[in-house]
Amino acid sequence: MSFFEAPSGQIPPPVPQRGRRASRVLFLISAVLAVAFLGTFYLDELPLPVRTWVAESVPAARGLVGIPPDPEAEVADLAERMQLTAEGRLIFYDAEPAIVDGADIARICTDGEELPGGLYHAGCYLGTDRIFLLREPRTPVLVTTAAHELLHAVYRRMDDAERARADALVTVEMARVPSSDPVHAQIEASVGDNSSARPDERFAYLGSQIVLDGGFASELETLYARYFEDRTSLASASSRY
């Protein structure tokens, strides 16, 4: 860098710092874009209470922190009847549950197959992470179905290690369920020809419908308790369909 001395008594005017200001503006813009970009990956991993607070404070940021929109009134009522925890409610709403009539259930959930023994499709959980429920006049059935489909959404969100542990716990408890219990037929009807679906169906049916003397193993009850405040009450009130 070269320096030149100004002629005596002549001090040149300061050079405008346009380049420096432009650099600062560019830096700020880049920083904002970086935060926004990284936020789409990390903000939804913040603790749920923090994300809930952000969503309530800045409604426009709900999607950024992984908090779904407020549901319709009848869906919110179902969540209350299931006695969901904050985590359970978040997953339930995130799956955008829709309560529809029989024609829609047949179109969305059945693929035209018929179920044995007078069973019928009361709802389904799709691979697109959507829950559909039959508009059922018997409220206990609707609540049980909603809890069942929610547990499918829970199972999908587990990683491989969590799923393997849940499968092992459920297998032990299923062996304690009397062979005469209708849940066995329900599971087999839901599994159909897709045997790989059996662990998922067992997890959902067991958690939403079965109460055993002495309860499940504490580890499994603790797992279900992440989503239901009173699973025993929920399952005891279930109406077998």
Helix (H, G, I), strand (E, B) or coil at 35: helix
- Strands 130-134 and 98-100 come out as parallel
Full pLDDT tens readout for the chain, 241 residues = 333 344 455 555 554 555 555 555 555 445 444 445 544 555 556 666 666 666 556 655 555 656 666 778 999 999 999 999 989 998 999 899 999 988 888 888 876 566 555 556 788 999 889 999 998 878 888 999 999 999 999 999 999 999 999 999 999 999 999 999 999 999 998 898 899 999 999 999 999 999 999 999 999 999 999 999 999 999 998 745 4
Q: What is the pLDDT of residue 35?
A: 42
Helix (H, G, I), strand (E, B) or coil at 162: helix
Single pTM value for the model: 0.73
Q: In whole angstroms, what is the distance from residue 169 CA to residue 217 CA? A: 8
Q: What is the pLDDT of residue 241?
A: 46
Tokens representing residue 39 in the block? 């936020």
Give 171's contacts (C-beta < 8 A, 6+ positions apart): 202
Q: What is the pLDDT of residue 166?
A: 98
